[in-house]
Amino acid sequence: MKVAFLMGSDSDLPRLEQGLALLGELEIPFEARVLSAHRTPGPLLEYMAQAEERGAEVFICAAGGAAHLAGVVAAHTDKPVLGIPMDNPPLGGLDALLATVQMPGGVPVATFGVGSGGPANAALFAARLLALSDAGLAERLAAWRLTQAEKVAAKDERLQAQLGS
């Protein structure tokens, strides 16, 4: 495992699947767990005590509401921690965004956008971090980006054809 993908609730899973799929597509070994900073603090700390021994190099943490998961993880590792604030009611993710981004000095958490882009961007950022020391992953990431550019170019061609340009 290279990436530990943690979520505070299984209700977040449908919105996180794009990030998990990207890790799989880029052939990055990962594990996904439901661990809550508030409801399961003991199991979370047990997980953190063993995760690096099993190869975790990057932690992605998704949580809503008080959203302390990324901060608690960051307090127990020197590895990169990427936070995804979930857009849950009643505040639409503003509470989670502020909880994730407002970390005290010395406990860094890279924070990604609230909503649909956050999980994919966190997975891609993890890939970029890991690609610094993995040439094969760097090649797969470059190929993925090229494919994305080709998809946009094809959409533009279709639009131009429709418009008669």
Q: What is the pLDDT of residues 14-38, one digit of tens each?
A: 999 999 999 999 999 999 999 999 9
Exposed e or buried b per residue across 18-36, where buried means at least 16 C-beta atoms within 10 angstroms of its C-beta? ebbebbeebebebebeebb
Please report, for residues 39, 55, 64, 76, the alpha-carbon distance to residue 51 in angstroms, rounded to integers and kept in the order given. Answer: 19, 7, 23, 11
Q: Is the pLDDT of residue 11 over 80?
A: yes
Cα separation, 117 vs 123, in Å, equals 10
pLDDT in tens, 40-97: 999 999 999 999 999 999 999 999 999 999 999 999 999 999 999 999 999 999 999 9
CB 57 within 8 A of CB 82: no
Q: What does the pLDDT read at residue 32?
A: 98
Q: How confident is the model at residue 164 (pLDDT cuts 50, 70, 90)?
A: confident
Say what the pLDDT of residue 22 is: 98
What is the rounded distance in angstroms from the CA atom of residue 26 to the CA atom of residue 28? 6
**Residue-range domain boundaries for the chain:** 3-133, 136-165
- Express each pLDDT in 93-149 by its tens digit: 999 999 999 999 999 999 999 978 999 999 999 999 999 999 999 999 999 999 999
Enumerate helices (H) and strands (E) in the chain, giving the number of each: 6, 5
The strands making up 81-85's β-sheet, listed across from edge to edge, are: 30-34, 3-7, 58-63, 81-85, 110-111
pLDDT value, residue 165: 72
Amino acid at 131: A
Maximum separation of any 2 CA atoms in the chain, in Å = 63
- Using the Cα atoms of residue 139, residue 140, residue 142 and residue 146 in order, give the sign of their dihedral: positive
Q: List the CATH code of the domain at 3-133.
A: 3.40.50.1970
CA distance 85 to 62: 6
Reply yes or no on whether the pLDDT at 152 is more than 90. Answer: yes
pTM of the model: 0.95
Strand 30-34 to strand 3-7: parallel, antiparallel, or no bridges (unpaired)? parallel
- Residue 115 confidence (pLDDT): 79
